[in-house]
Structure 1
Amino acid sequence: MDKEIFQKCFDLAERGNYESRFIFTYYDENTKRSLIRNLAIILGKDKLVGLTGEQKVIFVQSEDPDKMRRMLLL
């Protein structure tokens, strides 16, 4: 993950006048933990928890195509 790129993406989404969501796919739990750890470093733990609670940051296992479809259609 490139910290500057992700920070700018989240900043743009926050300033925009449109609905946005970040969907991260992962292969296994180790990958998911790594994604969460990196995002917590980039955004801060409280911000990540808030965005996850608002479903603006979503984690979907790559082997669950039904959940991927549902999340993309929300």
Structure 2
Amino acid sequence: MLLAHPAVLKNLIEQYETLRALHAENGTQEARRRMEDVACMLRVSTGTRQIDAARHRLPGARTEDDSLLTT
């Protein structure tokens, strides 16, 4: 499976988080629609159904298994 370049993925995650904050603040339909579009791009570009899973695809991202190694 092809995955998005890490820079593209990071940009999509940042856009999603910004749009999520905007939607939470003023709840415009435009912000919601754009957030849904970016979420769809994240799911397709990472091959996952969960938005949070996209963060684990970034270089240097820590997984739950990694945190067990540091304790």
Q: Which has the higher helix share?
A: 2
- TM-score band by shorter chain is 0.3 to 0.5
Query: What TM-score do you get using the length of structure 2 for normalisation?
Result: 0.37
Pair member with larger Rg:
2
Q: TM-score, normalised by structure 1?
A: 0.36
Greater strand proportion: 1
